[in-house]
Structure 1
């Protein structure tokens, strides 16, 4: 079991009381197993998100005016960024929730990325607030911006899964992060390194790194916040495998 004895009544309460047994190596192993088991849907959904960014970038180029001195002006930048957030936020939320579904032993398809379009306003507002506070943190001092980026990482899932308001989701996400800030920072540090090395592989490693990221965040959410009841299927399967290996 990922939680210790003398447990409070819910996963969230156990996490906030710091009774979750955080094992980074085990989590990465299980997240990697989830990617292997659900690679097709994760890859296709990641491709949808990537192509969406490409299309948005192509459209945004039409509003860039270059001056003779080499400078440029981005017309209607704020409006375009807000529109982009409304388009992208439900897709990112959908990908996060695909990771959560896989951690719960549920199958998904590429169309699962569109499952939370009905929550477009709540998800977009959450993403917008996250973006604003992170940018403010980066401008004022780099460290607070990085902290806010990591601390708000569960907010979209809380809106999609628990139907929380954007503000409540952001605050709760920060509380969960603060309870385990050191190991969670370690998880994000690994992904920062992985994303930095993507250009060295000409972008090919992104095919695995991006699904792994959403699988890991989905697994962390389910382990520390999500549904109550039995251990997540990925944990149960791994335990059975370890027990079989031990018995042998």
Structure 2
């Protein structure tokens, strides 16, 4: 039997014209249920990401003192750029895993490295988003520190779908950033509320010695996958096998 491609969920064409909607309650409930079934692989992926970032910090500390980090905006900017480059393919891998989970496709921890298949586009998206975030935060921060935080919040929300579009659909970096900006603005208040709910949940997860992060961090990326599925849709290949988690793949 030939494999058949199909879209599960929303439509990119409809999303770009604002013809979509999603329920905050529904996507959170779906994400919770998805995380129950697909926790281990994402958790393992986060441990890999965490380990690489710890190694990066140790390397930087060998070259620069903590005092120099605190007193040099240039060094902080450089560190953010390095972090954006190193993390981009791994974050892309985590997002792809969350997207697969949204359509009940099982993943393995090693699939966190799948982002390297789209290495340069993911790095370009990450660099542009990081630079824009830094510039907007600094400019608005000159007026008032809270405005800088609001600017960072705004960019984080409106560009949230860029990496998923690159890793799942193969959209070019500039188009992915534009599409994400355009799509999110149709329902911007709802996206902001969802982001604030995530931040609140993360804060609560940190309280019990950080143990809640074991659940919350994977759930966030499953949530991204669910939202992406509901709005843009996930391209899957139907293979005609008996188990739902085995008969489709991205």
Q: Does the alignment reach a TM-score above 0.5?
A: yes
**TM superposition shift of 1:85:** 2.5
Q: Is 1:98–1:112's contact at 8 Å kept on the other side of the alignment?
A: yes
Instruction: Tell me the C-alpha RMSD between the 2 structures.
Output: 2.6
Using the alignment, how far apart are the partners of 2:70 and 2:174 within structure 1?
38
TM-score normalised by the chain length of structure 1? 0.80
Q: Is 2:228–2:234's contact at 8 Å kept on the other side of the alignment?
A: no
1:164–1:71: structure 2 CA closer, same or farther, 3 Å change rule? closer
1:125–1:18: structure 2 CA closer, same or farther, 3 Å change rule? closer
The question of 1:208 aligning with 2:215 is answered: yes
Using the alignment, how far apart are the partners of 1:138 and 1:75 within structure 2?
15
Using the alignment, how far apart are the partners of 2:193 and 2:33 within structure 1?
20
Aligned to 1:34: 34
1:71–1:49: structure 2 CA closer, same or farther, 3 Å change rule? closer
1:166-245 mapped onto 2 (5 Å cutoff):
166-227=173-234
Aligned to 2:162: 155
Higher relative contact order (CA 8 A, sep 6+): 2
**TM superposition shift of 1:107:** 1.0
**TM superposition shift of 1:35:** 0.5
1:11–1:75: structure 2 CA closer, same or farther, 3 Å change rule? closer
Q: When the two structures are aligned, how many residues end up with a matched partner? A: 220
**TM superposition shift of 1:71:** 7.0
TM-score normalised by the chain length of structure 2? 0.79
Using the alignment, how far apart are the partners of 1:26 and 1:78 within structure 2?
38
Aligned to 2:144: none
Q: Is 2:136–2:152's contact at 8 Å kept on the other side of the alignment?
A: yes
**Which structure 2 residue ranges, 5 or more long, are not aligned?**
1-9, 141-146, 237-243, 245-250
Q: Is 1:65–1:73's contact at 8 Å kept on the other side of the alignment?
A: no
Question: Which deviates further from its counterpart, 207-216 or 111-120?
Answer: 111-120
Q: Is 1:86–1:121's contact at 8 Å kept on the other side of the alignment?
A: no
Using the alignment, how far apart are the partners of 1:120 and 1:97 within structure 2?
13
Aligned to 2:14: 14
**TM superposition shift of 1:136:** 1.7
**Which structure 1 residue ranges, 5 or more long, are not aligned?**
1-9, 230-236, 238-248
Using the alignment, how far apart are the partners of 1:220 and 1:82 within structure 2?
28
Using the alignment, how far apart are the partners of 1:120 and 1:200 within structure 2?
35
